[in-house]
Structure 1
Amino acid sequence: MSDLLEKLKNKVLVADGAMGTLLYSYGLDTCHEAYNLTHPEQILAIHEAYIKAGADIIQTNTYGAQRHRLTEYGYDNDIVTINQKAVDLARQAAGDKVFVLGTIGASRGRKRCPLDLEQILEETKEQVQALLSTEKLDGLLFETYYDSEELLAVLDMVRPLTNLPILTNIALHEPGITENGRPLVELMSQLVMKGADIVGLNCHFGPYHMIQSLKQVPLFAQSYLAVYPNASLLAIDAETQQYQFSSNASYFGKSAELLVAEGVRVIGGCCGTTPEHIHEVKKAVKNLKPIARKLITPTVTEEDLIKRVRQEETLVDKVKKEVTIITELDPPKTLDIAKFQEAIQALDKKDIGAITLADNSLANTRICNLSIASYLKDSIQTPLLLHLTGRDHNLIGLQSRLMGLDLLGFHNILAITGDPSTIGDFPGATSVYDVNSFKLLTLIKQLNQGQSYSGASLRQQTDFTVAAAYNPNVKNIDRTTRLIEKKIAAGADYFITQPIFDASKFEQLAKVIQPYDTPFFVGIMPITSYNNAVFLHNEVPGIQLSESFLAQLEDLKDDPIACQAFAMKSTKDLIDQALKYFKGIYLITPFMRYDLTCQLIDYIKEKQLR
């Protein structure tokens, strides 16, 4: 028998598919590994079917042949016999033309394992020694390892026991990311350094997500790549209500070509695959040669995350040292986003601290801010700051949304309670309010510690910098200190205020917050017309305009140009006063009038150059 690794130097090899899928189809659904003793003819027939379909490599029927699993079925005294018989059956089918791998399955997986790591290693060693004692194997296959700690420890333990090739297959919950929150390429590289001859993926995902995952993985100089995808994602049959995989052997074969293009040299199948799938793979790769070079598509690394966090933190640090501008832009109410995109592009050119996207402000339905942020992410340079309300999301939705935000790289959040649904365009809608802004701040900071709201580990920390809202438009601003302190204690990194239209408020607010080191971005919103001013003053909570300002606007209301000029001058006067006390300016764009916001950004920057 020629050496497996020698063969892989110049050839793509096809491995077998699922054992359990076929045993289930035969009505054998208890202890699969015990069938090596009780139904050897069925096991032999499955091996032969895969070899006939074109498999160059088959694996022993020993995935769960460890002590704690066999004990469940009363076979704990038959561990050595079951493993050795499995090797005999596989070698009988393979002869000297097909490679045989001794298979060991992970202990830690979707179901909780009762063993600690030391016990897992003891049981794995017991099984490996039983397999190796036959001296009929061409290598060992460790598969469906979700937990990187287990796999690395197993490899450390097994590598000194044999010179046979070792193949380690990782299983993923998320494409490209291990269960322990590490980039796939990082774990694969570590496995290679520890002596794995072939590193790969198996189970949980079908070919598509495995192809996507492998785009980040380079060709290793001293190891080869393997993939054993499921036939598809699981689905439920509408009539039988049974879980099933797609019958997609032709698609599976075509996917094999794409896997070879990612550098894979061993292609087999996992759950749901059959000899038909393997036959299609064989046809697809028959005339393909392994690739020698590959362009990789890097994913976000830990170093990238650290850099990103530093960038987001500098929004807070920066405003402590110099004037920093952030602007608000409401997502569109319709699917016509041309004007919105125009506004975003214009603001992006202004080199400001962040652009904030509201979360259905005033309870009016708009395009989801996370969706539009994801849509824009690759086309702009300015960081996006997303509002998040307790009104529209229950606890499940909030944590889900936050984990999604972190995964997508949106780490600037404004945590708010949210205006009640009754004031919006769907007054019959329910306001959720599982949490208010205080509890939402606490939840976000808890996620930053790597803990779910339930207390369960997230296996990775989120990296949010979180703002709290503050309304200075109250009769007695001195009484708001307790509110500020509560939000700081809950986790607020900085504050963003409601728009201020009374210049005297800036000095008052500066005195109130003087004891605190937490930065404030003071809200400034240009008025677009007399009617706009009347609406804001009378109907929008938290906004008050002076009677003298309203009277002067009313005198000019029939001359739109003069009215706008007066309103803009008044806004600039407010900015002049604000800059006497604050370095953080929060410009709120009214009615998509981004031209006004751009003018004010230019005004602030010119003022700093004087």
Structure 2
Amino acid sequence: MGLREALQTKVLTADGAMGTLLYSYGLDYCHEEMNLTRPELIEKIHSEYIAAGADVIQTNTYGANAIKLARYGLESQVKEINEAAIKIAKKAVQSGDQFIIGSIGGILGVRKSDTTLNEILTTVREQAEILIDGQIDGILLETYYDFEELTETLKLLRTMTDIPIIAQVSMSEPGVLLNGIKLNDALLELENIGADIVGVNCRLGPYHTIQALETVELPKKAYLSAYPNASLLDIEEGRVIYESEVDYFARAALELRNQGVRLIGGCCGTTPKHIEAVKKQLSNLKPIEQKRTKPEKEVLIREPEPRNTEPLHEKVKRERSVIIELDTPRHLEVDAFVEGAKVLYKEGADIIMMADNSLASPRVSNIAMGAILKQHGIRSMPHITCRDRNLIGLQSHLMGLNALELHDILAVTGDPTKVGDFPGATSVYDVSSMELITLIKQLNEGISFSGKALRKKANFSVAAAFNPNVRVLDRAVSRLEKKIEHGADYFISQPVYSKEKIVEIYEATRELEAPIYIGIMPLTSFRSAEFLHHEVPGIKLSDEVLERMKACDGDKDREAEEGIAIAKELLDTATQYFNGIYLITPFLRYDFTLQLMQYIKQLDEETKGVKVNG
């Protein structure tokens, strides 16, 4: 009798966590490598679950793929590790009648750009071929947060084998996936693709797992599975722990059965004691054939209030638009900043842009300064970096910006902390700028990063950074195309110091659907020019510009005049090819920026029309 046939008439008990037990033994390195280095320990854990009553055990192969093993330099040992895992599991079962399923774990979470889907599918194929050749009883796809990764993996495996496949999603919020799709809809899609068993595992404890499954219909062809965590996790003396009484977990297993689940195991925090209690609770119980689903509570997502300002990416497509960057102070005196913003905005700037602790040095919060500028009737655009905030902080920050009606933002990855005032500070980087753009656009749909409805849509216009100061411009343009796919509305470039480079940028980007603001930053001295050229990431000056500034070295007035002259020459070219101009104010010298704004007006009056990139 196979796994599918057994589930027709029985509720089966699966095993619990492998990593939790290994972690409890003080073993926190690559658990899959232990198939080779500690096979007796892996067999012992399998045997303990079997003795506890598990009908189904999974191979110790959750992370036994080339991508995950590469973190430990073990990517060349995929075959050996997976084959050893199968051998150990079969030895533990021996003459028993337990089913052995091969575990394949999800790779993508919120962060997606590190590994492409094609790379994932290639490594899945490699691992799956080994597991299938090992003549196991089924494959378990577990802990998948990214639904596209799971569906594409399932499609691939269904072309490779007819053995049972269990496809399980993981949720951050009960009943909904990260992308906002409802659990019931997700499981139905997995069933239609060809999964024999569909369900959930990890992240949530029994209470929320049951809550999520109350809204799930019984599949027509597949069966339901659930592997909840023992509880919500806690941290005690630096170690992850799960507080859960086995009796409580067993009672939850009974409720899972009442929700139609036929394969019940455990994920993080569960032990053989939990599985023993589940087995006793479920002994001799038949699976239910019908259930009444709990109606899902519909959350009305309101449309955002209409903006009282036109998004810049719309305006710049038809006419001149100027963005001014004015960094917030590195001290507590903000009057000069506010005064500069007033002058530049009155002169005709469309928006005042504020970096987010540029060069990893603390400055007055740009969200606070944005609120202050708004009180003065000044439209502002804060940068948001991925460096300083985890996902919780990023979403909270964005929700605050939306509440303040600061709808124009630039999403950037951010300079690493080691370049700034506190080199020992932690760089977070939960996501890259590309994923951040996607998440911001998800907020525009009224959906949290976790997939939960937010009752109202945000209304952000999202700019992305563009560094054209690279050897191979085509590669930089390819990154722009990827950022457009992630949802970028327009781009703002690093400062450019060559007229030829401006023309090259125009030719390379003219077919892009998203407009570009070209960055121009006046130089204040030869020393600052050398600093920018040699030390600031993403900025390169031409030899001609460096020589011109060097010729003025030591004469502050001449250096300032030459810096302005160079910027004006660059504007002569930039305004011919781009509607969008991005002026970066150096060291709060807004008098420099004011001169350049006036020069742009003069050029536009002379030409009576401008060209548009793309």
TM-score by length of 1: 0.52
1:442 alignment partner, one of 404, 407, 419: 407
Deviations 1:32-54 (A, max 9, x none): 11111111000000000000001
Counterpart CA distance in 2 for 1:138 and 1:264 is: 19
Counterpart CA distance in 1 for 2:89 and 2:71 is: 25
Q: Partner of 2:40: helix, strand, or coil?
A: helix
- Number of aligned pairs? 347
2:238 alignment partner, one of 226, 241, 247: 241
> Does the CA contact (< 8 Å) of 2:445 and 2:458 recur in 1?
no
Measured after TM superposition, the shift of residue 3 of structure 1 is: 1.0
> Does the CA contact (< 8 Å) of 1:37 and 1:85 recur in 2?
yes
> Does the CA contact (< 8 Å) of 1:399 and 1:453 recur in 2?
no
Q: Which residue of 2 aligns with 1:293?
A: 290
Unmatched tracts of structure 2, length 5 or more? 306-370, 373-383, 385-391, 412-432, 447-455, 460-614
Q: Which residue of 1 aligns with 2:173?
A: 174
Letter in 1 for 2:177: T
Counterpart CA distance in 2 for 1:160 and 1:398 is: 40
Counterpart CA distance in 1 for 2:438 and 2:213 is: 30
> Does the CA contact (< 8 Å) of 1:107 and 1:113 recur in 2?
no
> Does the CA contact (< 8 Å) of 1:141 and 1:166 recur in 2?
yes
Q: Which residue of 1 aligns with 2:108?
A: 108
Measured after TM superposition, the shift of residue 282 of structure 1 is: 0.5
Is the aligned partner of 1:457 residue 2:439?
yes
> Does the CA contact (< 8 Å) of 1:23 and 1:32 recur in 2?
yes
Distance 1:80 1:453, change over 3 A: closer
Counterpart CA distance in 1 for 2:220 and 2:141 is: 21
Counterpart CA distance in 1 for 2:104 and 2:40 is: 22
Q: Partner of 2:405: helix, strand, or coil?
A: helix
Q: Which residue of 2 aligns with 1:331?
A: none
Distance 1:436 1:74, change over 3 A: closer
Q: Partner of 1:6: helix, strand, or coil?
A: helix
Counterpart CA distance in 1 for 2:260 and 2:402 is: 50
Measured after TM superposition, the shift of residue 177 of structure 1 is: 0.8
Q: Which residue of 2 aligns with 1:119?
A: 119
Distance 1:113 1:23, change over 3 A: farther
Q: Which residue of 1 aligns with 2:78?
A: 79
Counterpart CA distance in 2 for 1:287 and 1:46 is: 25
Q: Which residue of 2 aligns with 1:34?
A: 33
> Does the CA contact (< 8 Å) of 1:215 and 1:262 recur in 2?
yes
Distance 1:452 1:156, change over 3 A: closer
Matches within 5 A, 1:327-476: 400=396, 439-440=404-405, 442=407, 455=437, 457-458=439-440, 459=442, 461-462=444-445, 464=456
Letter in 1 for 2:405: L
Deviations 1:195-228 (A, max 9, x none): 0000010010111111011111100110000000
Same amino acid, percent of matched pairs: 45
Deviations 1:426-454 (A, max 9, x none): xxxxxxxx8798x426379x9xxxx9997
Q: Which residue of 1 aligns with 2:43?
A: 44
Is the aligned partner of 1:53 residue 2:44?
no
> Does the CA contact (< 8 Å) of 1:441 and 1:466 recur in 2?
no
Letter in 1 for 2:107: S
> Does the CA contact (< 8 Å) of 1:216 and 1:298 recur in 2?
yes
Distance 1:101 1:465, change over 3 A: closer
Counterpart CA distance in 2 for 1:204 and 1:168 is: 16
Measured after TM superposition, the shift of residue 241 of structure 1 is: 3.5
> Does the CA contact (< 8 Å) of 2:249 and 2:274 recur in 1?
yes
Counterpart CA distance in 2 for 1:211 and 1:221 is: 20
Distance 1:293 1:28, change over 3 A: same
> Does the CA contact (< 8 Å) of 2:443 and 2:458 recur in 1?
no
Distance 1:3 1:466, change over 3 A: closer
> Does the CA contact (< 8 Å) of 2:17 and 2:269 recur in 1?
yes
Unmatched tracts of structure 1, length 5 or more? 314-389, 404-433, 468-610
> Does the CA contact (< 8 Å) of 2:110 and 2:146 recur in 1?
no
Q: Which residue of 2 aligns with 1:70?
A: 69
Letter in 1 for 2:24: S
Distance 1:462 1:50, change over 3 A: same
Distance 1:178 1:465, change over 3 A: closer
Q: Partner of 1:150: helix, strand, or coil?
A: helix
Measured after TM superposition, the shift of residue 28 of structure 1 is: 1.8
Measured after TM superposition, the shift of residue 400 of structure 1 is: 4.4
Deviations 1:276-320 (A, max 9, x none): 00011111111322111111123257xx85xx659x99xxxxxxx
Measured after TM superposition, the shift of residue 72 of structure 1 is: 2.1
Give the structure with higher Rg (CA): 1
Distance 1:46 1:156, change over 3 A: same
Counterpart CA distance in 2 for 1:115 and 1:399 is: 23
Counterpart CA distance in 2 for 1:178 and 1:193 is: 18
Greater CA drift, 185-194 or 89-98: 89-98
Counterpart CA distance in 1 for 2:252 and 2:170 is: 18
Matches within 5 A, 1:319-330: none
> Does the CA contact (< 8 Å) of 2:402 and 2:458 recur in 1?
no
Deviations 1:395-454 (A, max 9, x none): 999964996xxxxxxxxxxxxxxxxxxxxxxxxxxxxxx8798x426379x9xxxx9997
> Does the CA contact (< 8 Å) of 2:145 and 2:177 recur in 1?
yes
> Does the CA contact (< 8 Å) of 2:112 and 2:435 recur in 1?
no
Matches within 5 A, 1:474-485: none
Distance 1:436 1:165, change over 3 A: closer
Letter in 2 for 1:123: T
Q: Which residue of 2 aligns with 1:264?
A: 261
**Quick one: higher RCO (CA 8 Å, sep 6+), 1 or 2?**
2
Counterpart CA distance in 1 for 2:68 and 2:273 is: 30
TM-score by length of 2: 0.52
Counterpart CA distance in 2 for 1:63 and 1:242 is: 21
